[in-house]
Structure 1
């Protein structure tokens, strides 16, 4: 009788041990494991196959990447937990006339802020030259504003322009005349304003009491005398 119970006890122990081993082998992965980032998934695919990942989408515990190698395009499925490539499937030949996948608004904002540091105070989508573009306005700590225009599909910067918070004031025509008459006494004959090599200036012609003529060049921002030219008789 004792031997019989001993055999039963041993049999039950073996069953419990087998069940425990099976559970350890088949237990699901820890759901708290941190998923790899999109950038990491992109790097894994490009390092494995070469080419360029032009689109990356997340779905549940998977990443789906569009991989372009030369003139061929593929869908690659990646486990977002382990980074393991689960499958790769050829889509077809790339048609160069097909537009590239559009970038997300967050990606466009990062491009804009990489060109101008500060706070993005305006952001909108419009068209330029028949193509969709995003226009962002960034204000820096000195209150200067930079307008950056980015192609919505390619991410290329189309234009970039900074407007100073306090643009320099131009001296008035009367102020320029007063500065010129301090340099050359006489009667004003003519006043012109011109821009050359990025500098704006007044050209003021003055006839002196002894019947000579001079042209005084006055800087339009500073009001300083740049030159005095006398007419040859």
Structure 2
């Protein structure tokens, strides 16, 4: 009889101990994880992508940073606890410089009109849509995320859309090596998006 009682008491103590361990592990990340402040998240974005912060918003577990970078406006998602960049997506392309109006023809002494010989006012030859090389896509991707591009690159040519490359890039950071898939427009060489793999 005493043995059964002892087994029941031991089992109850073991069960309570396990429940306490599980409860503390569930509660402890929310107690111990302070997470990033808005300033720290902005610093991560600026450190990774040189540009100007337009707006920063925070949800429960991530910061969304709208940022003006050289070739457009991007939305950057950063994990609020670890500071890892989760994704980069282009929202708007950079505005092109306005084209100067062409000078009107001038009258010559004999009354005929002549076109300006200024090469800056000449119409450029029409450009064909040419696809950048795979090596150019690798170089653009590696430079964009400060990593090492993998030779395993794919050119995608969906119907009714501009072709693009998907390039795998590895970022070596000690124990926290990360990989990103970078989408590069095959005509312009612009980075369209960056998706970070876990």
Q: Please give the range of the TM-score, normalised by the shorter of the 2 chains.
A: 0.3 to 0.5
TM-score normalized by the length of structure 1? 0.33
Structure with the bigger percentage of strand: 1
The higher radius of gyration belongs to 1
TM-score normalized by the length of structure 2? 0.39
